[in-house]
Amino acid sequence: MNEKPYVIDSHVHLDDRQFDVDRNEVVARAQTNQVGAILMSIHLDNIKPVIALAEQHQFKCAVGLHPNSADHADNTLESQLRGYAKHDSVVSIGEIGLDYYRDNVEPVVQHEVLRRQLALALELDLPVILHNRESTDDLLKILKEFPGIRGVWHSFLGTVEEAESYLELGLYLGIGGPLTFKKNEALRETVAQLPLDRLLIETDSPYLTPAPHRGKRNEPVYVRHVADMLAEVKKVSLEKVAQQTTKNTRTLFNF
Ligand SMILES: [Zn+2]
């Protein structure tokens, strides 16, 4: 039988409550199907559990404050993240960024906490995982204040022009479930024009479930549907997509 090539889901919220009932089965399905994972933290309370999950299952993880919890930052943020970053499983500062769609945290607070985490990423020489929702211009503007920053623009849904401005900054682009949505022909046409050596694949589990599982909870093994669609869109083999996106992920996150 044809073994499926190894792939890495570069964006997973494995500590999410939606996985409480069957987290070990979800992990087992990923591992028996040759799927690796990078686990996200989003607020200070979930960093320890996320690191523990990564270490238990030999995954990697990111530590940071999501813009929707940026108001939880106090003056110990940097020292806490520096301490967590000493763990071998920690490969990134994330998930950080801006979110103007959910407006529970003032933009000025989001900006300050983002700048502090970008500065810390440079200090620690770690790449960042960037969240953007209705905040593209401000996120780009702030990123440009930090030359040399490395990272991934997670859940890329933009135009070719937007992609070019992120690629120019040296960022990778995270491609997820929306690539498989029937209505997203424009996104497929855009992604067809992007360089495969700058793309990562991701699920954002438990959110953004790809076809044909839409309406159900997402999980890392479904990254295979993203990989299949990316191969179709780029008109290359699945093996090529798997090999190149895995290489990109390992290069960016240095493991
Ligand atoms: Zn996320």
pLDDT digits (tens, 9 = 90+) for 130-177: 999 999 999 999 999 999 999 999 999 999 999 999 999 999 999 999
**How far is the centre of ligand 1, averaged over its atoms, from the C-alpha of 208 (Å)?**
10
**How far is the centre of ligand 1, averaged over its atoms, from the C-alpha of 96 (Å)?**
9
Instruction: Tell me, yes or no, whether 1 lies in a domain.
Output: no
**How far is the centre of ligand 1, averaged over its atoms, from the C-alpha of 12 (Å)?**
7
Q: Which domain holds residue 70?
A: 7-253
* Long-range Cβ contacts of 224-230 (<8 Å, 24+ apart): 224/4, 224/7, 224/33, 224/35, 225/177, 225/180, 226/175, 226/176, 226/177, 226/179, 226/180, 226/201, 226/202, 227/7, 227/201, 229/179, 229/180, 229/188, 230/175, 230/179, 230/191, 230/199, 230/201
Who has greater pLDDT, 205 or 1?
205
**How far is the centre of ligand 1, averaged over its atoms, from the C-alpha of 213 (Å)?**
19
**How far is the centre of ligand 1, averaged over its atoms, from the C-alpha of 2 (Å)?**
32
**How far is the centre of ligand 1, averaged over its atoms, from the C-alpha of 236 (Å)?**
28
User: Model confidence at 1, in pLDDT bands (50, 70, 90)?
Assistant: very low
User: Model confidence at 215, in pLDDT bands (50, 70, 90)?
Assistant: very high
- CATH number, position 170: 3.20.20.140
**How far is the centre of ligand 1, averaged over its atoms, from the C-alpha of 40 (Å)?**
7
**Window from 71-75, 116-120, 198-202 with minimum mean pLDDT:** 71-75
Who has greater pLDDT, 2 or 219?
219
Instruction: Tell me, yes or no, whether 26 lies in a domain.
Output: yes
| pLDDT above 90: percentage of residues in the chain | 97
Instruction: Tell me, yes or no, whether 2 lies in a domain.
Output: no
CA distances from 139 to 65, 115, 198, 204, 227 (A): 15, 10, 19, 20, 27
Instruction: Tell me, yes or no, whether 45 lies in a domain.
Output: yes
**How far is the centre of ligand 1, averaged over its atoms, from the C-alpha of 183 (Å)?**
22
**How far is the centre of ligand 1, averaged over its atoms, from the C-alpha of 11 (Å)?**
6
| For ion ligand 1, residues whose CB falls within 5 Å | 95, 204
Instruction: Tell me, yes or no, whether 98 lies in a domain.
Output: yes
Retrieve residue 22's tokens: 């069957």
**How far is the centre of ligand 1, averaged over its atoms, from the C-alpha of 166 (Å)?**
18
Q: Check residue 4 and give its pLDDT.
A: 86
**How far is the centre of ligand 1, averaged over its atoms, from the C-alpha of 179 (Å)?**
16
Instruction: Tell me, yes or no, whether 216 lies in a domain.
Output: yes
Instruction: Tell me, yes or no, whether 96 lies in a domain.
Output: yes
**How far is the centre of ligand 1, averaged over its atoms, from the C-alpha of 219 (Å)?**
13
User: Model confidence at 103, in pLDDT bands (50, 70, 90)?
Assistant: confident
Instruction: Tell me, yes or no, whether 151 lies in a domain.
Output: yes
- pLDDT tops 90 at residue 118: yes
Q: Please give the mean pLDDT across all residues of the chain.
A: 97
User: Total structural domains in the chain?
Assistant: 1
Global pTM reads 0.97
Retrieve residue 61's tokens: 């993880």
**How far is the centre of ligand 1, averaged over its atoms, from the C-alpha of 185 (Å)?**
23
